[in-house]
Chains A and B, each alone.
With several copies, the nearest count.
Chain A
Amino acid sequence: EGYKIGISNTVQGNGWREQMVCAMKAEALASGKVESLNIAHRNTDAAGQLEDIRNLIQAGVQAIVVNPSNSEGINSAIKEATDAGIVVVAVDQAVTEPSAYILSNNQEQYAYLGAKWLFETMGGEGAVVYMRGAAGAGADNDRDVGFKRAMAEFPNITIAQEVFTGWQQDQGKQQINDIIAAGVPFQGVWTSGIDNVIVDAFVESGAPLVPIVGADNAGFVGQLSSVEGLQGAAVTNPGSVGGAGVALAIQILDGQMPAEKTVLVDPALWENVTEEGKANLAAAANPNLSPEWPVSVSIDGWTTYTMDQIIACKGPGE
């Protein structure tokens, strides 16, 4: 007789989110304490997520792990759930409803860490191409705060070009191609996770490589060790926070309350300049993963599943 846990996610068909869901399933399976997962996994907005959460409440789950589409939009449903005694854990992004637990990647730190490394590698001066995510998205706003904090520490760094990739690979590639073709001078590129296509664009166009900071997506991590002359760094943004969220929910159901309602997972940075960084990269690289999956498939201290379990992407009873 295990727990019955509900999952709600509102973006589908994106490697990062797929990994998140697989991590949730794998963690539920690996913990051995979960009887069934009830997964609402579709492309929708706050309104649809409200409906999904209410359906989960009706289905009688004991905990809900949710990647909120929006920081306020689903508060009413979360309140209904916690009022009914259900444990709610928001992963990846925060919600403002105080009764929910939050376990998320520290997006501000993510941007700060990468930008700082980039600016240092550039020698503290020069122009940088700043390739953001989707305009208006919460994570993008948080990352912008971190990026600007790093900028403030390096007064001689300027922004050569600021663009929104919309987290779309093709759009990002077209933009960097335009920038290269236009002859805008720049000495570094910071991208919000659209990374391997950027490296591709440099290689294909024959333009001289500059330092590039991206996320720990499998494709980019591979490039960091294989592309000749590329200096770069991958900042971890594990989709496996989903697994951590499930682990947190199980802990709470087991009666172990965390000290804080909000737990931030801090990112790590793996660069390919120092030996230590190279070793980190080599350890993380995994040719079995889809290039869009983050390679950091687990989070120390939280997740307990094996690599094979997350790749298999099977939950309890599947």
Chain B
Amino acid sequence: MTTTTTNTPVLARLGRLMVDTPLIPLTLILLALIAVLAILNPAILSMFWVGNTLKIAIPLAMLAACQTLTMLTGGIDLSVGTAATIAAYVTATATPLIGAPSAIGIAMACALAIGVVNGIGIAFARVHPLIMTLGTGLIATGCLLVYQRSVISTGTIYPEVLVWLGTGRTWGLPNGLFLFIPFAVLILWVQRRTGFGRLLYAIGSNEAAARLSGVRVWQVHLALYSLSGIIAGLSGLLYLGMVKTASLSLALPLDLPSVAAAVIGGTSIFGGRGGYGGTILGALILTVLATMLTLLQMPEGGRRILYGAIILAVTALYIRLTDRS
């Protein structure tokens, strides 16, 4: 009888480590990027820079929470950018008319409505989430244009609390963390320690089996996409406070990066695998990467090439390391 050699190759062992604790390699990638930055420009690593990076990463990480949760079920939510933009735009333009609290209330109701419509289409009409959320995104943009025509002359006000959250600092760190840390803890708890979180994994992993175990899949979808709408609305408010601009395309450029953050963070687009911890690191990695490309003084063409190439490389590396079972 031959003895099986137990000295497995290093790559495979590393792979196993990553499957068990996927946050480690992501942290390593993040640190490596920061190291590259520090070499490029040693002066950069200040408290100010850290605070600034966190500030920019927060809205992205929040929108990426929507992607993480929906991707766990095998879905995706490409309407988050629109929902965030609408929440921001409505808040800024309605505040002069009806005051900040009501304006924020209405804005969040709009974001929730988008989520509910997504949920209904996905849960009952069984439209694929990609199509459904693109469709509602289109419809919602249309509504925003109609709305914009009707409020064109009232001017904009940015509620102070949002400005404080978006631009203020406390001990050098952005106030946005006062919103984000409880938010992240909540999402991690929901995902790991609640029945709802478990159902997300269950549906993404085997919807038929979940159904046979008595799960009412439509309830989960409805709740999930509504939650996603609310999170998107919240991110929009924070972003408004940060940018202090009510534009019709405010958060739209964050749609694809939010998907990228979740994917880099190790959430599978096929459903059933991943988690929000990795996503947060993914958002930080993307933000640091963007800073790096700016510092490199790359022309736009080069920036895009590098950005795309690095995202693909990180994704491929991660797959290579974790998927060789």
Contacts and interface: CB of A to CB of B under 8 A. Distances in A.
Tell whether any CB of A sits under 8 Å from a CB of B in the complex. yes
Interface of A: 12-15, 18, 22, 41-48, 50-52, 55, 69-70, 72-76, 135-136, 141, 161-164, 168-171, 173-175, 177-184, 196-197, 200, 204-205, 219, 287-292, 311-313
Given A135-B300, A181-B49, A291-B156, A204 B167 contact: yes
Contacts of B294: 51-52, 55, 161, 163, 175, 178-179, 182
B243 interface: yes
Given A175-B294, A182-B41, A197-B244, A45 B299 contact: no
B297 A162 contact: yes
A70 B245 contact: yes
B290 interface: yes
Contacts of A46: 243, 245, 247, 250
Given A182-B291, A313-B153, 7 more contacts: A15-B247, A43-B300, A45-B250, A46-B245, A72-B245, A161-B294, A173-B243
25 contacts: A13-B148, A42-B303, A45-B249, A45-B250, A47-B245, A47-B250, A52-B294, A72-B244, A76-B244, A162-B299, A164-B300, A170-B253, A173-B242, A177-B56, A179-B294, A180-B48, A181-B46, A182-B295, A183-B43, A184-B41, A197-B244, A200-B244, A219-B245, A290-B155, A311-B153
Contacts of B148: 13, 136
Given A12-B145, A41-B300, A136-B248, A290 B156 contact: yes
A18 B149 CA distance: 9
A313 B290 CA distance: 27
Chain B CB within 10 A, most for which of A72, A170, A171 = A170
A73 B44 contact: no
Nearest to B149: A313
A41 B299 contact: yes
A175 B300 CA distance: 13
Of all A-B residue pairs in the complex, the 3 with the closest CB atoms, nearest first, are A73-B245, A13-B248, A183-B43
Interface in B151-189: 152-153, 155-156, 167
A174 B247 CA distance: 16
A179 B294 CA distance: 8
A205 B243 contact: no
B239 interface: yes
B56 A45 contact: no
Contacts of B46: 181, 183
Contacts of A161: 294, 297
Interface in B222-262: 239, 242-253
B155 A287 contact: yes
B205 interface: no
Nearest to B40: A182
Contacts of A168: 249, 253
User: In the complex, which range does the number of interface residues on chain B fall in?
Assistant: 35 or more
A89 B152 CA distance: 26
B308 interface: no
Contacts of B156: 72, 290-291
Contact of A181 (B48, B252, B303): B48
Given A12-B300, A178-B52, A73 B167 contact: no
Chain A CB within 10 A, most for which of B153, B243, B250 = B243
Given A13-B145, A42-B303, A178-B295, A205 B245 contact: no
A273 to B, nearest CB: 25
B195 interface: no
Nearest to B299: A41
A18 B245 CA distance: 15
A276 B167 CA distance: 34
B301 interface: yes
Contacts of B245: 46-47, 70, 72-74, 169-170, 196-197, 219, 291-292
Nearest to B248: A13
A164 B153 CA distance: 21
Chain A CB within 10 A, most for which of B43, B55, B167, B242 = B242
A240 to B, nearest CB: 15
Nearest to A218: B155
A163 B295 CA distance: 10
Contacts of B239: 47, 170
Chain B CB within 10 A, most for which of A12, A135, A163 = A135
A261 B324 CA distance: 65
B152 A169 contact: no
Given A200-B244, A205-B48, A292-B245, A135 B253 contact: no
A182 B243 contact: no
A171 B253 contact: yes
A51 B290 CA distance: 11
Contacts of B53: 181
B152 A288 contact: no
B293 to A, nearest CB: 9
Nearest to A76: B244
A185 B53 CA distance: 19
Contacts of B249: 13, 45, 168
A41 B155 CA distance: 22
